[in-house]
Amino acid sequence: MTRHGYRKISELPDTIAVFPLAGALLFPRWSLPLNIFEPRYLNMIDDAMSGSRMLGMVQPVDDDKLKPGLARVGCAGRITSYSETEDGRYLINLTGVCRFSTGDELDVKTPYRKINPHWADYAADLTPPDTSRLPDRDHLASALKKYVASNEMDVDWEAVESAPIETLVNALSAGCPFAPMEKQALLEARDVCGRCEALIALLDMDVPGDDPSTLQ
């Protein structure tokens, strides 16, 4: 059994509240801290905490502040830590469970949005990756060194060398300052190996003088 308790997609909810947030990526087995302060999303967290504790992170695809379009793939997470500040904000931590295709949006009376998620294409997210198929750390580290040198970034190289490869790939995918749609491509990669390949291509593309055709 996985640590979140879900072993097959039939155990996942048929409806889920969604939180559209540009640039914020959640991956299976990856943690995302969130600072919740908008009233509609405070309401969403209240309802989630009294139910399945699940919600879906989805990137918006336009600039509509009230009801943006939703990217075609998001990731559901379970609230695994929760605290309330003196000024009424919620500090939560989401642990990624499974990606989903955004299905029909529901007609709801809640101030936040709900959808029917389609889980079938991402059933493998409920199983930890095969360690024998994980990507090569040296190739990723080499691309990262060129990227941080050209972008004047600081990196914890000890963590790069020692962190589990899935954790490293997800941390770089979420933390590097890629454009939202580039981050969306990382989320939609078939698995950790595919995400690492896409990540290396993005790191190489953002190094001055490199050939952007590496993404083709």
* pLDDT at residue 18 is higher than 50: yes
| Shared domain check, 84 and 14 | yes
Last residue within a domain, chosen from 98, 126, 154: 126
Q: 57 lies in a domain?
A: yes
Q: Is residue 4 part of a domain?
A: no
Q: What is the DSSP letter of 135?
A: P
Residue 55 placed within a domain: yes
Interval 149-171 mean pLDDT: 89
Do 199 and 135 fall within a single domain?
yes
For residue 188, the SS3 value is helix
Residue 123's region, left for phi above 0, alpha for psi from -120 to 50, else beta, is alpha
Closest of 113, 22, 104 to residue 59, by C-alpha: 22
Q: Are residues 178 and 100 in the same domain?
A: no
Question: Are 33 and 137 in the same domain?
Answer: no
Phi/psi-derived region of residue 23, left when phi > 0, alpha when psi is between -120 and 50, beta in every other case:
left
Same structural domain for residues 113 and 163?
no
Q: Please compute the mean of the pLDDT values over residues 176-182 and round it to a whole number.
A: 92
| 151 and 198 co-located in one domain | yes
The parent domain of residue 122 ranges over: 9-126
pLDDT at residue 19 tops 90: yes
102 in Cβ contact with 72 (< 8 Å): yes
Q: Do the domain assignments include residue 178?
A: yes
- From 126, 144, 176, give the residue that closes a domain: 126
Q: What is the pLDDT of residue 76?
A: 98
82 with 121, same domain? yes
Quick one: 80 and 151 in the same domain?
no
Q: In the predicted model, is pLDDT for residue 216 greater than 60?
A: no
Condensed to tens digits (0 to 9), the pLDDT of residues 38-85 reads 999 999 999 999 999 999 999 999 999 889 999 999 999 999 999 999
pLDDT band at 2 (very low <50, low <70, confident <90, very high): very low
Domain boundary among 126, 161, 182: 126
pLDDT digits (tens, 9 = 90+) for 27-38: 999 999 999 999
Residue with tokens 């007609």: 107
| Of residues 163, 40, 64, the one with CA closest to residue 113 | 40
| DSSP of 97-111 | EEEEEEEEEP--SSS
End-to-end CA distance of the chain: 39
Return the pLDDT at 213. Answer: 40
- Model confidence pTM above 0.75: yes
Residue entry with tokens 């896409």: 198
Alpha helix (H) ranges present in the chain? 39-49, 137-151, 157-162, 165-175, 180-188, 192-205
* CA proximity to 126, closest of 26, 28, 20: 28
Residue 2 covered by a domain: no
Domain contains 1: no
| Joined tokens for residue 38 | 């908008």
Same domain, 49 and 101: yes
Does one domain contain both 64 and 107?
Answer: yes
Q: Which of 48, 87, 96 is nearest to 192 (CA)?
A: 96
Number of domains in the chain: 2
The confidence band for 214, taking pLDDT boundaries of 50, 70 and 90, is very low
Average pLDDT of 133-154?
Answer: 87
